[in-house]
Amino acid sequence: MKNPLNKRLPRELKEEWPKYFIIFLFFVFTISAVSGFLVSDNSLQKANEESYEKYKIEDGNFDYSEAASAETIAAIEKDGEIKIYENFFKEEAVQSFDDSTFRVFADREQIDLIDVLEGEKPSADNELGIDRLFAENHKLKIGSAIKFADKEFKITGIVALSDYSTLFQSPSDMMFDNDKFGVGIVTKEGFDSIRDDHIHYRYSYFYNSRPDHDDEKAGKEKAEELIKVLSVNGELEEFIPAYSNQAIHFAADDFGGDQNMITVFLYIVVIILAFVFSITISNTITKEASTIGVLRASGYTRGEMVKHYMIIPMLTLLVGAVIGNILGYTLLNDVFAQAYLASYSLVSYKIIFTPNAFVRTTVIPFILMFLINLIMLSVKLKLSPLRFLRHDLKKKQRKKAFKLNTKLPIMLRFRLRVIFQNMPNYITIFLGIIFAEFILMFSLIFKPMLNNFEDNTTKNLLADYQYVLKAPLPTQTQGAESFAMESLQTIGENSGNKDEDVTIYGIRQDSKYVTLSSEKGKIDISTAFHKKYRLDIGDTLELKDKYSDKTYSFEIGGYYDYPAIIAVFMDIDDLNETFGNEEGSFNAYFSNREIDDIDEKYIASRITETELTKTSRQLIRSMGSMMFIFTFFGTIIYVLVIYLLAKIIIEKNTQSISMTKILGYNNGEINSLYIHSTTIVTLISLVIGIVLCDRTLAVVMFEVFKGYSGWFEYTLDPLVAVKTLGLGILTYLIVVLILSRKVKHIPLDEALKNVE
C-alpha cells in the first residue's frame, strides 16, 4: 500500500513552488558551473599530464654564453648522467607590433615536441608556426604575415610548444605575458637565415634515470648535482630544471589550486542552502503542528515523518544535480576551458568523464544536505503528539518574554520582538550576506587592486629604461648612468615562500636616479620586500646564489620606495666587493632616453614600463571572465538568501500579521513592523559584512599572491565598498517589493486558525 503522506507532496509543491523553484535553479546554476569547471579543469589537467611523455618534455635546460663544443657536451653528458639536445633560440622585437618580443626556435624532433592545432608546420625558410595565444591576441591567422629581425614570415600553422604552456619570457618574471611575448618555430634553414644578434645557446636535457616530473624533491637533488657539472664546463648564464620552470608547470599548478577554491565555494553554497531548507521545513512543521500531532497519534512513526519532510529538499537537490551535471558536461565545460585557454598555451585536449567531479558536485553535497536536514528534523520531531496538537513546540518554555525598556517607542519594541523571535533566521541571513559580500568584493576588488599595482609601478620607475649589458660598454647617451646589477634568491624555507629572484642594484653615491638612505656596508630594501617578507631595519637578510650553495648576508639599513618589485639597493663599491668584481665594474645603465649607440648583441635585456606592468595586464586579461562569474553568483546568493529567509519570517508570522489587520493596521504599517525589522538586520549585516570581508580579503590576498614574484599590496577601493553595499541594498529593495505583495494577500481569517 502506498504511503498516504506522499499525497501531500504535490500539494505542498504547488503551494510553495516559487520557493522550491528558486532553490532548484540555484542548485542547477551552482552545480552546473562547478561541474563544468571541474570537468574542463580535469580534462585539461589530464592532457597536460600526458604531454610530458607524449611530447617528450625536457627535464631541464641551461644556457651557455657561447656554443659548447662536442667534447664539452660529451663531458657534461657523462659526468651529469644526462642526454643533451641543442635547443637554440633567437629573440627579436616584433616589427609588426609595438613593444612585442618574439622567441623563435628551429623545429624540434627529439625533445619538447610541437602540437599543431591548426594548419601545418613550416616547410620553407620564410614560413612560421606561431603560438596560438600570441596569434589570437594579435588577430593573426594562417596566411597572415609577421615581421621580426627585418624578415617577414608567413604563418602556416597555429601551434602549442609543449615546454611553453605558459608564456614566461624569463623564469624570474613576475607573470607570464601572452600579449607582448610570443614563441614559434621555423625550419632549420629558416632559423639559420635569421640574424644572430640575439641568439641564446640553450641546451635541453633528459636525465638518464628520469625522476617523476612532479617529484620536486628528486628533481631538486639531481639539479644540485648537475649544476656543479655545468658550472665547471662553461660560462653558465641560466639553468632551469623542469620542476622550477614556470613555463612548464605554472598552468598545471593553477589547475589544482583553482579546483580546491571552486569546491570550497560549492560546499559553502550547499551548506547555506541546507540551512535555508532546514528553516523552511521548521516553519512548515510549526504551521502543520496539528496535522503532525494527528498523524503521530494515528500511528505514524517519527522516522516516517522525518522521511516525509526530507523528500522534497532531497528531490530538489537530486533533480538540480542531474540537470546541473548535464549542463556542466555539455555546455559549461567549454566556457571554463576557454577561460583557461585565454591564459595558457595548452596542447590539444578532449573532455573526459571525471568521477572526482561527480563526487564533489553531487555525492558530497547530497550527503551534506541529507545530514543537516536529518539532524534538524530528528531534533524537531522528538516532541510528543500531544505537544504538536497543542502547538507547544518549544523545548524550553520561557516564563517571561525578554524585557525591553518601556521608554522605547512601541513600534521599535515590536520590531525588536520580531527580531528576537526570528533570531535563527536572521543569523542565517547575516551569514549568507557576509558570504555573498565576500564573493562580490573578491570579484570587484581584483581589477582596482591590479590597477593600483600598475600605477605604483609606473609612478615609481627607477628610470624610463634600464639596460642590462653583456659587457661594460660606454655610451654617449645624455643622462645615462651606469650601475651594477646582480641577481640572488630568497631562501624559501626561511621565509615561508618559494625561492624568489631578488635584483641587487649597485648604485653610485652621486646617483641621479636612486638615492640610498643607508650608510656604506648596509643595504636598502624595496618597500615591496619590506611588506611581503616582513623585514625591518636592523634585520639581517640572507640570500643565496641561484646556481650554487653560496649564501650572502646583509644588514638592512633603510627602505627604498619601490612598491612592486623585490629588490635590494646598495653602494656599487660594496656590491663589487661582495660579488668579487673588479673595482669600478658595472653592467647596466639607467636612462630616461633610449640608448642607441650600443650594439644590440651586447644588450642582455631592457627593463621598461612594459616589462614591469606585464603582471597586472596579464592578470586583468586572464581573470576577467572568472571575476564576472564570481560577481554573478555573489548577486544570486544575495537575492536567494534574503528573499527566502525574509519570506519565511513573513510566513512564520502570518497569524500575527492577520491579527494586526483585524485590529485595524493597514498594509504599510504592517510592513513597517515586520519587513522593516528584516531591513534593520539586512542593513546592519551589509555594513558589518564589508568590514569583516575587508579584513578577511587582506589575509586571503596575501596568501593568493604570496607565490607570485613581486608584491601586490591589498587595498580596499572605496568604490568597491560602495558598489557592494549598493548592490546589496538594491537587491533587498526588490525583495521588499515582492514581500509587500505577500503581506497584502494574507487573509484576515488566518488569525482564527490554529488557535489553542
CA distance 133 to 545: 34
Same domain (yes/no): 141, 159: yes
Q: Output the pTM of the full model.
A: 0.66
User: What pairs with residue 151 in β-bridges?
Assistant: 148
More confident residue, 153 or 444: 153
Q: What is the pLDDT of residues 648-677, one digit of tens each?
A: 667 666 777 777 777 777 777 777 767 777
pLDDT above 80 (res 70):
yes
Same domain (yes/no): 517, 622: no
Residues 204/55, Cβ–Cβ less than 8 Å: no
Same domain (yes/no): 469, 598: yes
Pull the grid cell for residue 617. Answer: 595586464
Same domain (yes/no): 630, 751: yes
Same domain (yes/no): 637, 592: no
Examine the fold and report which residue of 178, 207, 236 is the final residue of a domain before the chain moves on: 207
637 phi/psi in degrees, rounded to 5: -65, -40
Query: 427 lies in which domain range?
Result: 404-458+610-756
Residues 223/241, Cβ–Cβ less than 8 Å: yes
Number of domains in the chain: 3
In this structure, how many other beta carbons lie within 10 angstroms of the beta carbon of residue 5? 15
Same domain (yes/no): 484, 411: no
Confidence of residue 567 (pLDDT cuts 50, 70, 90): very high
CA distance 561 to 525: 9
Q: So what's the pLDDT on residue 330?
A: 84
Is position 159 within any domain?
Answer: yes
CA distance 473 to 462: 21
Same domain (yes/no): 713, 749: yes
pLDDT above 70 (res 76):
yes
Q: What is the pLDDT of residues 707-749, one digit of tens each?
A: 677 787 888 888 888 988 888 888 788 877 877 777 777 776 6
Long-range contacts of 81-84, Cβ-Cβ distance < 8 Å, separation of 24 or more: 81/207, 81/208, 81/209, 82/205, 82/206, 82/207, 82/208, 82/226, 83/205, 83/206, 83/208, 84/203, 84/204, 84/205
One-letter amino acid at 4 equals P
Q: What is the pLDDT of residues 389-433, one digit of tens each?
A: 877 776 555 545 556 666 666 667 767 777 777 777 777 778 778
Is position 137 within any domain?
Answer: yes
More confident residue, 673 or 233: 233
Examine the fold and report which residue of 207, 227, 255 is the final residue of a domain before the chain moves on: 207
Confidence of residue 1 (pLDDT cuts 50, 70, 90): very low
Give me the mean pLDDT over the 287-307 stretch.
83
Q: What is the pLDDT of residues 332-361, one digit of tens each?
A: 888 778 778 878 888 988 888 778 778 878
Examine the fold and report which residue of 207, 222, 256 is the final residue of a domain before the chain moves on: 207
Mean pLDDT of the chain: 82
